[in-house]
């Protein structure tokens, strides 16, 4: 007969990268500690509360960013560990063992990343204030506090909920806000999903990213990143560590029910830097236009002539401007953009080297091998292996 020492339920809606990584961290604790737990999770990874009171388990780890889940569990007779966002006010925390992403530190990481690029104007694209998005309000408070401390102003725009019937209106209002911002400006988006709105809006109205507007999201979500032509810089939250710490807290509570409630604040893992914040404070408008075209099209195998056609000035004129601003030729810029993308894909992705060569615009795998041998004295495969060590 199958029987574990403890039966544990995980209440998360794992359609978000945040929840999936928390669950992954919980799983890592189970494997590393070898606790004897039978873990219940809905097969479609959604949370259903209707029959929760009939579940005869021993402990729960739950998403306390969801008000309905928090309300259901606050008076639970079995041990509960909450996972959610941090709060600026002590009274906003639930009265259970709690593991939180440090919202202030998450926004601070994005803000410091933009400051290091030399930006001195900032904006924040958030969410409409409601009980389901308390964490968004905390992030908004954080950027206001950070900017005020440094003497900067910060434009705040919460936007509208996204629904099919109001999508066009929502994007029109977003573009109105973007066009009213001074340039250059760094925008922190409350999530990667909202950051993608910004990238789409900027492309539609001809705002150059990152030359006019640098954008950094929060979550480092693959889905949002791959749906945009400009790759998105994003803060990676410490979700894996949050899951690990939540499982650890529940383990201790199950072993000793008299333990006091404990709170763990988890800082972000860092900022994944990509094209959307590759701001270099360029001054020449022709170079800015050329750089924008190269970033968007280098992997399509473009040549210098196509850049010249886009900008609309002579080769000698643009080459001199590139030398003055960038210190190298247009051809070198195209080459560097393709090489940087290939390095990123080899380090962070699972594509084969042949696929990487195709995606990055190299005419053949052999050509990419020659480029890597020249620059790094190693093959793309060796580069990937050494980067993963």
State pLDDT tens for residues 107-163: 999 999 999 988 999 999 999 988 889 999 999 999 999 999 999 999 999 999 989
Q: Using an 8 Å Cβ cutoff, are 125 and 276 in contact?
A: no
How many beta carbons lie within 10 A of that of residue 223, not counting itself?
A: 12
> Which domains does the chain show, CATH number per domain?
6-101+238-269 (3.40.50.2300), 103-236+273-277 (3.40.50.2300), 285-387 (1.10.10.60)
Q: Could you give the CA distance from residue 218 to residue 296 in angstroms, rounded to a whole number?
A: 22
Q: Could you give the CA distance from residue 38 to residue 5 in angstroms, rounded to a whole number?
A: 8
Closest by Cα among 84, 224, 233, 213 to 157: 213
E strand or H helix at 195, and its extent?
A: helix 192-205
Q: Which positions of the chain have pLDDT values less than 50?
A: 1-3
Q: Could you give the CA distance from residue 197 to residue 387 in angstroms, rounded to a whole number?
A: 32
Q: Using an 8 Å Cβ cutoff, are 202 and 195 in contact?
A: no
Q: What is the pLDDT of residue 18?
A: 87
Q: Could you give the CA distance from residue 194 to residue 201 in angstroms, rounded to a whole number?
A: 11
Rg (CA), the chain: 24
Q: What is the pLDDT of residue 1?
A: 37
Torsion, Cα 48 79 20 47, to 10 degrees, reads 0
Strand 233-236 vs strand 213-218: parallel, antiparallel, or unpaired? parallel
Q: What is the pLDDT of residue 54?
A: 62
């Amino acid at each position: 007969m199958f029987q574990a020492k403890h039966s544990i339920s995980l209440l998360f809606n794992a359609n978000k990268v945040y929840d999936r990584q928390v669950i992954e961290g919980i799983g890592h604790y189970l494997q590393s500690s070898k606790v004897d737990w039978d873990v219940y999770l809905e097969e479609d990874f959604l949370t259903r509360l209707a029959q929760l009171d009939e579940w005869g388990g021993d402990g729960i780890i739950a998403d306390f960013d969801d008000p309905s889940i928090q309300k259901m569990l606050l008076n639970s007779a079995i041990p509960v560990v909450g996972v959610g966002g941090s709060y600026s006010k002590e009274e906003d925390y639930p009265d259970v063992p709690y593991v939180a992403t440090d919202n202030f530190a998450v926004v601070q990481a994005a803000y410091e990343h933009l400051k290091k690029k030399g930006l001195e104007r900032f904006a924040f694209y958030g969410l409409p204030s409601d009980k389901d998005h308390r964490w968004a309000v905390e992030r908004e408070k954080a950027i206001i506090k950070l900017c005020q401390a440094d003497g900067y102003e910060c434009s705040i725009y919460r936007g509208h909920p996204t629904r099919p019937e109001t999508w066009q209106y929502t994007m029109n209002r977003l573009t109105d806000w973007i066009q009213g911002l001074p340039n250059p400006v760094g925008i922190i988006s409350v999530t990667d999903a909202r950051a993608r709105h910004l990238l789409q809006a900027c492309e539609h109205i001809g705002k150059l990213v990152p030359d006019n507007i640098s954008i950094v999201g929060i979550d480092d979500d693959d889905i949002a990143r791959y749906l945009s032509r400009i790759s998105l810089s994003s803060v990676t939250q410490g979700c894996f560590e949050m899951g690990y710490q939540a499982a650890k807290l529940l383990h201790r509570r199950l072993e000793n029910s008299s333990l006091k409630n404990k709170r763990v604040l988890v800082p972000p893992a860092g900022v994944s830097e990509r094209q959307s914040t590759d701001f270099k404070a360029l001054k020449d408008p022709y170079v800015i236009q050329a750089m924008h075209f190269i970033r968007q099209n280098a992997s399509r195998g473009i040549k210098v002539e196509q850049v010249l056609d886009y900008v609309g000035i002579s080769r000698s004129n643009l080459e001199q401007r590139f030398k003055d601003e960038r210190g190298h030729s247009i051809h070198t810029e195209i080459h560097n953009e393709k090489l940087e993308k290939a390095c990123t894909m080899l380090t962070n992705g699972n594509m084969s080297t042949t696929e990487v060569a195709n995606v990055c615009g190299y005419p053949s795998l052999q050509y990419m091998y020659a480029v890597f041998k020249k620059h790094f004295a190693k093959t793309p495969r060796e580069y990937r292996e050494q980067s993963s060590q």
